Chain A
Amino acid sequence: MFYATIDSSLYKTCKDKDGESENKVIITPTLNMAQGDASRASDGTLLNIDTYYWEVLKVNSNYKNAINKQTFATVNALTSINQKFVAYEVSNIQDGEVVYIQIACSIKDSANPSYLIDLDYEYGSKVISNQTVYRGDPVNTAFRIFTTKNGKIEQENIYDNAIERTIKIANKADRAFFSSIENTTNGSKENISEFLTRWESKNSIGNETYTTQNTSIGSGGYGLKTRGSVTFAKDEKVLYAHGRSLDLDSIESLLYQNPKNSIPEGTPEEADRGIYLQAMHNRRSQDSGYNSFLMPMFNPGFTSKGIQPRFYFPERSSHPAGNNNPNQKCGTAYADVTWTPPSYPVCPSNKPVCAGHKQITVPFCVDLPCQNC
């Protein structure tokens, strides 16, 4: 059975003569295909791949849509994109930035042009890979979410995932990764107009609703869960069991405190020696090689599920608000995803955990299509 694959690899920028990390790196995605007798179509026809076409499908970054960050990363081919071998240069990488590049190669046997298309192959004749590039120490980037409190719009800065976990997912050659990472804040952020358009579209066919359940409220850095899908952290530290350092002093702190307590959900727990042993195991099972990065131990109490479905991030219009602007439509919309401050709503039992469901309204102004442009 014919197969073709491209490695999904991780790259770290080189260092210059002074030991400083450079802002660029060369990446060489390697296309591997079935050889010899294995290179046959399902009907036994021996295939001879002779046509290649490489393309960069998507470029993403942990600095995209992040607070006080901007990405300037660019990807350019250094070699012909019509050969089996290809090299790209990823440039303008900033310190701490992680750039995700989806690269594909379309292959064809010119003598049997239709065979690969007919193959039971996930992407037909297009082979897709995830390349990940980073510089320095990858950083977690916060993003902003808007909410309302007593009718007043407020904002919170939160983290959706640890950067190390996101890198790991990308490196795992998950072909669905790039369709999913858009659903993170780094990948895509909707404004209210986009949201309402999608909301109305979905609602019209009645197969999706946008409700949010606040499963936990607290002041220790915990955010909220939306439909059981994504957990946010207000504090980067909450993402890790003992911080990002692997030194023994940090790990041994687990002998005296339970990282789950950084999430005020339920009764505080005593130190768990199992977590300590897990951290020691994590310390000694680090990945190998120049490009690998330190993998801290994640907080076992923070149940992020990786890349999760997109949800709504309301955003105010940059135009003057109000009905006086003829190019805008303002009103009130039911906002489903809401950030609920620790003190709201008040839990009946005054316990720190309050499971509930609150649907609120969000005032919005939408730019109308310009009729005379």
Chain B
Amino acid sequence: MGKVSNVKIGGGSLKVGHSILANQLKKWHGTGTAVTYTDLIDRPDYYIREVSEHFGIPYNKNTIKKEDYWDIKDPKVIKNPNEGTPERIFVDRLPRYPKFEVNFDSTYQKQFLDASYKLSFNHPQEGLKNSRSLKYYFTCEELQTAINEDLISGYSGYSVSNAGDIEHGSFGPYMLQSNWTGINSNPIYVSENTSKELISGVIDGYGGGVNSHSHYTLNFLKTGSGDYTHTYSGYNFEPGVEIRVETVFQNYDISAGCYAIDSSSMIPTNMGISGVDSEESTFYNVATTTDSAGMLTRPAHSRIIQWTTGLSFVFSDHVDPNDSDKKLYITGAIPKPHGQVIFRSNQTPWNQYNLNLEVDGDGANGYTENNYWYLGAPDGYLGHRHFHYTGIKITNSNKIKGFRISNQNSPTVNDSLSKIVITDCPNFEHFRAHQMELKAVSHVDLSGCSLLTQNDLHSAHPPEFYSSTGVFPHNVFRTVPDYLRSPYYNGIDVDEPHDQAVPPGADPSPINSFRLRHVNVAGNSLNQTGVYFWIRAAQISFLKSGYLNISNQDPRVGPESPVFDGLRANAYNGLFPDINNQCISGLEALKRNEWTVIHDGSFDRL
């Protein structure tokens, strides 16, 4: 009788009243007892329990959702056992939402990304020349630039390209074709490998002939091996269930520049089956991997599977929901192990996770051209085609002026960059973040700089652009300063000299990240539009309890100054009234959403 209430949960729309009352008295005594489809629907708990006990087959009852019982309504679920395939009458699912974390050993990538090498060349006229430090993850264009500018260029130089698959240029191997014909007795060579115990570069090839070009290959060799520890943990699992963690490790041959030599290099590593702690509903596991010289064994993806056991009934005849009073006999039951993938990790390219840029000042370890020319240093931060940073921190730089991710670099930013900290950089005045960029960012701290606004949408447009009609003009272009462009790629100009300040179909474009939780733009020179955009960016976030600091703006004169007078009655008739009102109402909305908002100046009067 105690199960009647459970039955009622799912049975609301199914002829409940009559059936329940009729079946409460009905007992199942074994295979000789006739049942009907209605019986099964009305009292699933009872039949599951009785059948399980009768045939001595256990099942994970606590993992079964009541709603799943109604699968019995689908004739596709229950088939005629005479056809050979008894089916489940319910499907196991998790009522809980488990959390799962996997931390792969970051030394996998760091050992390569932190390392660098140099190229050298005995210049016939200028003597020994060394290139700047080169990362093992540069594009061909960057390698070409370094050779041209540091070693030799023109007809006496080289043309650099990828060996192997031209879509995957990182980590080489690279081709160096001499631009001139003749025997080359003085080729470029690798002079320094900062971490040669792990990785080293070598140039080898054909030295040319009387009428032939010399042709070399720059290969990187994984010269070391190591053991790596990966941790897996999770919580909020169902107690007592079985958890299986599977990770696929992929062998990457650096010298060949390919991820998989053949399918056998995909190594699924089973973490084994571990019972979830019955008290804490948590689990923790550790896996170690070893890689050998030449091959980098990297985790490609991971998944967690929860195994439960359900029951399938074997019926004497076809179960027909359209003939709900047809007599059936339960002649058997089969345990059904049910593996459910409850978590699947994202692909973890080894250039993507836990990679942070953190630099300070203009000195040897600062954001200087020498150190970070490939990112646009020192004037700008432009992103990179291959480096997926999760965090960027540039502080106390007097050189950096702007931040902009050009289109060709945006794929490395969109999904991974979550933290941007550019603080106390007095000349930093351009921050451009467009609609489809920075969608993963959660923390932005640009305090102590010289920002006027965000995305430069304030000074060159007539005020009607900011009307409150909700209709903004599309395709408003803003000129991009040269130092914020990375125009050259593959010999063509792929970076637009103008940005779309207003993306089609969108409002003027503040950061559009639903994950944004922390915004600090204190101590800048924000005008009204600037304040408006940062408030809008915070409002776009779905998150509660965020932080927004717009205080201490350098006061300016005129309508662009961040002066707000409270809600205006003539809001829709003036030049900038909408911004005024939207800023005020936006702040109020954020506070209602439990955001901490720090402001001063005119807002103090609100």
The answer on A and B forming one complex is yes
Instruction: Please indicate the chain B residues that have their CB under 8 angstroms from the CB of A288 in the complex.
Output: 139-141, 161-162, 166, 169, 385, 489-490
Choose among A17, A35, A287 the residue that contacts B169 (Cβ–Cβ < 8 A).
A287
Instruction: Please indicate the chain B residues that have their CB under 8 angstroms from the CB of A89 in the complex.
Output: 212
> Given A7-B256, A17-B155, A87-B205, A30–B163 Cβ distance below 8 Å?
yes
Given pairs A5-B258, A78-B209, A87-B206, 5 additional interface contacts (CB within 8 A) = A35-B292, A38-B294, A122-B262, A173-B165, A284-B410
Determine whether the beta carbon of A286 is less than 8 Å from that of B175. no
Q: How far does the alpha carbon of A319 sit from the alpha carbon of B208 in the complex, in Å?
A: 49
| Cβ-based interface call for B80 (8 A) | no
Instruction: Please indicate the chain B residues that have their CB under 8 angstroms from the CB of A37 in the complex.
Output: 292
Closest partner residue, chain A, to B178 (CB atom): A14
Determine whether the beta carbon of B292 is less than 8 Å from that of A36. yes
Q: How far does the alpha carbon of A51 sit from the alpha carbon of B157 in the complex, in Å?
A: 35
Instruction: Please indicate the chain B residues that have their CB under 8 angstroms from the CB of A290 in the complex.
Output: 140, 144, 159-161, 175, 177
Question: Which of B174, B178, B253, B385 has most chain A Cβ within 10 Å?
Answer: B253
Instruction: Please indicate the chain A residues that have their CB under 8 angstroms from the CB of B216 in the complex.
Output: 28
Per-residue 0/1 for B227-252: is the Cβ within 8 Å of any A Cβ (1 yes, 0 no)? 00000000000000000000000000
Q: How far does the alpha carbon of A173 sit from the alpha carbon of B261 in the complex, in Å?
A: 11
| Cβ-based interface call for A360 (8 A) | no
Determine whether the beta carbon of A248 is less than 8 Å from that of B496. yes
Determine whether the beta carbon of B155 is less than 8 Å from that of A7. no
Closest partner residue, chain A, to B409 (CB atom): A284
Q: Which residues of chain A from 219 to 273 have any CB-CB distance to chain B below 8 Å in the complex?
A: 246, 248, 273
| Cβ-based interface call for B596 (8 A) | no
Determine whether the beta carbon of A289 is less than 8 Å from that of B292. no
Determine whether the beta carbon of A35 is less than 8 Å from that of B293. yes
| Cβ-based interface call for A211 (8 A) | no
Closest partner residue, chain A, to B168 (CB atom): A287
Determine whether the beta carbon of B179 is less than 8 Å from that of A14. yes
Determine whether the beta carbon of A246 is less than 8 Å from that of B166. no
Question: Which of A8, A35, A280 has most chain B Cβ within 10 Å?
Answer: A35
Q: Which residues of chain B from 395 to 412 have any CB-CB distance to chain A below 8 Å in the complex?
A: 406-408, 410-411
Closest partner residue, chain A, to B494 (CB atom): A284
| Cβ-based interface call for B173 (8 A) | yes
Choose among B141, B162, B504 the residue that contacts A291 (Cβ–Cβ < 8 A).
B162
Q: How far does the alpha carbon of A57 sit from the alpha carbon of B228 in the complex, in Å?
A: 43
Determine whether the beta carbon of A246 is less than 8 Å from that of B408. no
Q: How far does the alpha carbon of A110 sit from the alpha carbon of B213 in the complex, in Å?
A: 34
Determine whether the beta carbon of B164 is less than 8 Å from that of A9. yes
Q: How far does the alpha carbon of A78 sit from the alpha carbon of B211 in the complex, in Å?
A: 12
| Cβ-based interface call for A85 (8 A) | yes
Instruction: Please indicate the chain A residues that have their CB under 8 angstroms from the CB of B256 in the complex.
Output: 5, 7, 30, 32
Determine whether the beta carbon of B177 is less than 8 Å from that of A14. yes
Choose among A7, A35, A286 the residue that contacts B173 (Cβ–Cβ < 8 A).
A7
| B interface list, Cβ under 8 A from A | 139-141, 144, 155, 159-167, 169, 173-175, 177-179, 204-206, 208-209, 212-217, 219, 253, 255-258, 261-262, 264-265, 292-295, 385, 406-408, 410-411, 489-490, 492, 494-496, 504
Determine whether the beta carbon of A14 is less than 8 Å from that of B213. yes
Per-residue 0/1 for A24-45: is the Cβ within 8 Å of any B Cβ (1 yes, 0 no)? 1111101010111110000000
Instruction: Please indicate the chain B residues that have their CB under 8 angstroms from the CB of A287 in the complex.
Output: 162, 166-167, 169, 490
Question: Which of A17, A286, A290 has most chain B Cβ within 10 Å?
Answer: A290
Q: How far does the alpha carbon of A1 sit from the alpha carbon of B139 in the complex, in Å?
A: 31
Instruction: Please indicate the chain B residues that have their CB under 8 angstroms from the CB of A8 in the complex.
Output: 164-165
Determine whether the beta carbon of A289 is less than 8 Å from that of B140. yes
23 A–B contact pairs at CB < 8 A?
A3-B262, A5-B261, A7-B164, A7-B257, A7-B258, A10-B162, A15-B179, A26-B212, A30-B163, A30-B173, A36-B293, A38-B292, A38-B294, A78-B206, A173-B258, A246-B492, A284-B408, A287-B162, A287-B169, A287-B490, A288-B490, A289-B169, A291-B166
Determine whether the beta carbon of B219 is less than 8 Å from that of A30. yes
Determine whether the beta carbon of B215 is less than 8 Å from that of A27. yes
| Cβ-based interface call for A292 (8 A) | yes
Q: How far does the alpha carbon of A24 sit from the alpha carbon of B208 in the complex, in Å?
A: 13
Closest partner residue, chain B, to A30 (CB atom): B217
Q: Which residues of chain A from 281 to 298 have any CB-CB distance to chain B below 8 Å in the complex?
A: 283-292, 294
Instruction: Please indicate the chain A residues that have their CB under 8 angstroms from the CB of B144 in the complex.
Output: 289-290
Interface size class of A (residues with CB under 8 A): 35 or more
Choose among A7, A9, A36, A286 the residue that contacts B489 (Cβ–Cβ < 8 A).
A286
Instruction: Please indicate the chain A residues that have their CB under 8 angstroms from the CB of B178 in the complex.
Output: 14
Instruction: Please indicate the chain A residues that have their CB under 8 angstroms from the CB of B385 in the complex.
Output: 288
Q: How far does the alpha carbon of A334 sit from the alpha carbon of B213 in the complex, in Å?
A: 53
Q: How far does the alpha carbon of A5 sit from the alpha carbon of B163 in the complex, in Å?
A: 13
Q: How far does the alpha carbon of A326 sit from the alpha carbon of B174 in the complex, in Å?
A: 61
Choose among A28, A122, A171, A286 the residue that contacts B205 (Cβ–Cβ < 8 A).
A28
> Given A14-B177, A248-B496, A286–B490 Cβ distance below 8 Å?
yes
| Cβ-based interface call for A172 (8 A) | yes
| Cβ-based interface call for A12 (8 A) | yes
Closest partner residue, chain B, to A294 (CB atom): B492
Closest partner residue, chain A, to B154 (CB atom): A17
Instruction: Please indicate the chain A residues that have their CB under 8 angstroms from the CB of B166 in the complex.
Output: 9-10, 171, 287-289, 291-292
Determine whether the beta carbon of B257 is less than 8 Å from that of A28. no
Question: How many Å from the CB of B230 to the closest CB on chain A?
Answer: 21
Determine whether the beta carbon of A289 is less than 8 Å from that of B206. no
Determine whether the beta carbon of B161 is less than 8 Å from that of A291. yes
Q: How far does the alpha carbon of A296 sit from the alpha carbon of B164 in the complex, in Å?
A: 21
Q: How far does the alpha carbon of A5 sit from the alpha carbon of B489 in the complex, in Å?
A: 30
Question: How many Å from the CB of A85 to the closest CB on chain B?
Answer: 7
Question: How many Å from the CB of B404 to the closest CB on chain A?
Answer: 14
Determine whether the beta carbon of A280 is less than 8 Å from that of B162. no
Q: How far does the alpha carbon of A16 sit from the alpha carbon of B215 in the complex, in Å?
A: 15
Q: How far does the alpha carbon of A10 sit from the alpha carbon of B173 in the complex, in Å?
A: 12
Determine whether the beta carbon of B213 is less than 8 Å from that of A26. yes
Q: How far does the alpha carbon of A253 sit from the alpha carbon of B411 in the complex, in Å?
A: 25
Q: How far does the alpha carbon of A158 sit from the alpha carbon of B208 in the complex, in Å?
A: 41
Q: How far does the alpha carbon of A171 sit from the alpha carbon of B489 in the complex, in Å?
A: 20
Choose among B163, B206, B219, B265 the residue that contacts A79 (Cβ–Cβ < 8 A).
B206
Q: How far does the alpha carbon of A320 sit from the alpha carbon of B177 in the complex, in Å?
A: 52
Instruction: Please indicate the chain A residues that have their CB under 8 angstroms from the CB of B159 in the complex.
Output: 14, 290-291
Question: How many Å from the CB of B185 to the closest CB on chain A?
Answer: 16
Q: How far does the alpha carbon of A290 sit from the alpha carbon of B261 in the complex, in Å?
A: 26
Instruction: Please indicate the chain A residues that have their CB under 8 angstroms from the CB of B494 in the complex.
Output: 246, 283-284, 286
Instruction: Please indicate the chain B residues that have their CB under 8 angstroms from the CB of A286 in the complex.
Output: 408, 489-490, 492, 494
Q: How far does the alpha carbon of A24 sit from the alpha carbon of B155 in the complex, in Å?
A: 17
Q: How far does the alpha carbon of A27 sit from the alpha carbon of B258 in the complex, in Å?
A: 19
Determine whether the beta carbon of B169 is less than 8 Å from that of A285. no
Q: How far does the alpha carbon of A122 sit from the alpha carbon of B268 in the complex, in Å?
A: 22
Q: How far does the alpha carbon of A37 sit from the alpha carbon of B292 in the complex, in Å?
A: 7
8 closest Cβ contacts across the A-B interface? A289-B161, A289-B140, A87-B206, A291-B161, A35-B294, A290-B159, A284-B408, A32-B256
Q: How far does the alpha carbon of A290 sit from the alpha carbon of B139 in the complex, in Å?
A: 11
Closest partner residue, chain B, to A245 (CB atom): B492
Determine whether the beta carbon of B215 is less than 8 Å from that of A292. no
Closest partner residue, chain B, to A291 (CB atom): B161
Instruction: Please indicate the chain B residues that have their CB under 8 angstroms from the CB of A285 in the complex.
Output: 408, 411
Q: Which residues of chain A from 122 to 176 have any CB-CB distance to chain B below 8 Å in the complex?
A: 122, 171-173
Closest partner residue, chain A, to B207 (CB atom): A87
Determine whether the beta carbon of B253 is less than 8 Å from that of A32. yes
Q: How far does the alpha carbon of A195 sit from the alpha carbon of B517 in the complex, in Å?
A: 70
Q: How far does the alpha carbon of A314 sit from the alpha carbon of B602 in the complex, in Å?
A: 85
Q: How far does the alpha carbon of A1 sit from the alpha carbon of B155 in the complex, in Å?
A: 45
Closest partner residue, chain B, to A31 (CB atom): B256
Instruction: Please indicate the chain B residues that have their CB under 8 angstroms from the CB of A5 in the complex.
Output: 253, 256, 258, 261
Question: How many Å from the CB of B405 to the closest CB on chain A?
Answer: 11
Instruction: Please indicate the chain B residues that have their CB under 8 angstroms from the CB of A34 in the complex.
Output: 294-295
Instruction: Please indicate the chain A residues that have their CB under 8 angstroms from the CB of B165 in the complex.
Output: 8, 171-173
Closest partner residue, chain B, to A1 (CB atom): B264
Q: How far does the alpha carbon of A284 sit from the alpha carbon of B256 in the complex, in Å?
A: 26
Closest partner residue, chain A, to B262 (CB atom): A3
Closest partner residue, chain A, to B219 (CB atom): A30
